[in-house]
Amino acid sequence: MAYTVEQKIKGRIYLYKVESYWDKAKKQSRQRRTYIGPKRNVNKDKTKQIRSSLVSKGQGNVFLLRFLSDKLGLTEILKSLFPDNYQEILALAFYEIIEASALYLFPYWLDEHNLPRVKKMYSPDISKLCDILGRSQSQRVEFVQKWIEHLKPINGIFYDITSISSYSTNVDFIEWGYNRDKENLPQLNMGVTFCHNHSLPIYYNLYPGSIVDVTTLKNCVEYLKVFKLKDILFVLDRGFFSKANVLEMNNSKSKVSFVQPLPFSLKKVKTLIKKK
């Protein structure tokens, strides 16, 4: 006769098959136990398998950013210039927009977000991609050209400059200069050109940290010529005011109109105000 018994050991229940048999030597009935396993062991295994196949990933934020990238035409332009890496470039941009964190944390963020076509990149892979992009100057210029063509017509342009502080000792552009964030660190400067009628950035330039705002405007105007942007209205703050800049923008070849407040420190401005 055989039957099953339960035995509790350290809080867990185990099952044993018990069989009765006749011991001829001792001339008595005895029992033989055979271990079956933990109670509900089969069901637990099935539950574990089901749970391990379920994965939850973030969708809303990356869905919105992908939608915007596609709608703006950004995805298509990147794909045409960087066909092997455009998905990763966009994913890194999404990561920075959402998290604004160090890139070495990107692969862990990617595990939690629904971007199935993006290759998982660790720190060395990201450094390699950044190096490729840094050396691909012609593709970067072509990207700006295609982006400008996509945005046309472009009417008003806002131009401003900001600084990014850094501890790096390996970047040539990192220099001491006027730090807008009042941080006791060297910096690089970034000038951004913004399209008024589309409310979108056009392009940016990097400058050494010691370069002051007023000297960057001439380069910006030169870039407009390279990208064949004409009849543009510039909106500037008084930090870009200088006689040279006014003459440069007033040059008939540049065809640049501009709106700019004058600094009150100028004697001419004070005189004009007094007259009024």
* Angle subtended by helix axes 137-151 and 74-81, to nearest 10: 150
pLDDT at 187 (0 to 100): 93
pLDDT at 180 (0 to 100): 81
Q: Which fold has domain 153-275?
A: Nucleotidyltransferase; domain 5 (3.30.420)
Q: In the chain, which residues fall in CATH 3.30.420?
A: 153-275
pLDDT at 114 (0 to 100): 92
CA distance 192 to 245: 17
CA distance 263 to 84: 49
What is the tens place of the pLDDT at every residue in 108-163? 999 889 999 999 999 999 999 999 998 998 999 999 999 999 998 887 788 888 88
What is the tens place of the pLDDT at every residue in 55-100? 778 889 999 999 999 999 999 999 999 999 999 999 999 999 999 8
CA distance 98 to 271: 50
Asked if residues 106 and 121 have their Cβ atoms less than 8 Å apart, the reply is yes
